[in-house]
Homo-oligomer: A and B are copies of this chain.
Amino acid sequence: MVSERGLQVLRAIVEDYVETHEPVGSRSIVDRHAFGVSAATIRNDMALLEEDELITAPHTSSGRVPTDKGYRVFVDRIAELRPLTTAQRAAIASFLKDSGDLDDLLVRTVRALTRLTGQVAIVQYPSFARANVSHVEFVHLGGSRIVVIVVTDTGRVSQRTALLRGEVVESDVATVKATIAALVTGRGIRDGVQAIADLLATPRSGDRLDDVVRAVARIVSEELEEFRSDRLVMAGSATLARRESDFRGSISPLLEAIEEQVTLLRLMGEMVADEQGLATSIGRENESFGLAEASVVTSDYDATGAHARVGLLGPTRMDYPSNLAAVRAVAHYLSRLLDEDEKAR
């Protein structure tokens, strides 16, 4: 078990290491922090911390560096959020106000966050799983093409072009629209998907339009699935290159994860938030996602029942207190703006 002072030593090591990027020795700790004990005492504490695998020495005669486990303890038991300055809060507020629609708001959010922290910022689209389909619209482009548009009552729009096998005429489109609209309009996403699945399961009728209806229904179903699945908005990948020395290996796994999105979605989905809605995933904890040298911090935000996360992706050696405070503050503003929007309906 680590003593109270031991924890303070760990705190000092984490803080100094994050700041200086250099292994920190017992001497520099007593210099920079008012422990009131000698370096030798600190050394004894450090030996204990090392036994617990909270810190490690890169080579025999050198200062200590926190291990992933050390960061974990730091975040869970020691660190307190470093509140944002009022200037920072004001910057967020002015950056986010006057946003247009949801897309615009999220883009601004992610930019604000990356600017604030210098890390890669990530915002999950609010999940619309609970939304209802308010509208389906079909636009005939002539020939065998139809643009299929689905709108939910939360204002999400998805659109896709269906390329049919044969030609259709305007009146066909109207018929198809009526059929499919009846199936999904006013229903929840899940119900809509189910209704379409039921339709596709029925045996084919000989009707000329049957094939068309099926083809279009399949597209609609895909679009509904898209609402159900989450999406990400990101910004700040260029900052990774500047922090490159923070990553022992290459940053290309990170860039891949950013490009893939799926990995990050899974990762953010699996992270467990504390009672404040904050969550961290540190270094090797991300190993199965190919991000063993990176950390992710997230904060939940809420939009009228819908629920999603904003987060940061950066080196394991990041400033957790500031970054956690930043995601929390941004999530907070985002929730508020979305709620105001909601009321404005």
Contacts and interface: CB of A to CB of B under 8 A. Distances in A.
A251 interface: yes
Nearest to A164: B344
Contact of A101 (B160, B240, B253): B160
Interface residues of A, number: 45
A149 interface: yes
**Number of this chain's copies in the complex:** 2
Interface in A300-321: none
B144 A345 contact: yes
Contacts of A100: 160-161, 163
Interface of chain A: mostly helix, strand, loop or mixed: mixed
Nearest to A222: B100
A202 to B, nearest CB: 24
B241 A163 contact: no
A127 B43 CA distance: 67
Contacts of A143: 344-345
Given A134-B139, A139-B137, A155-B161, A250 B242 contact: yes
Interface of A: 100-103, 134-135, 137, 139, 141-145, 147, 149, 151, 153-155, 157, 159-163, 235-242, 244, 250-253, 255-256, 258-259, 341, 344-345
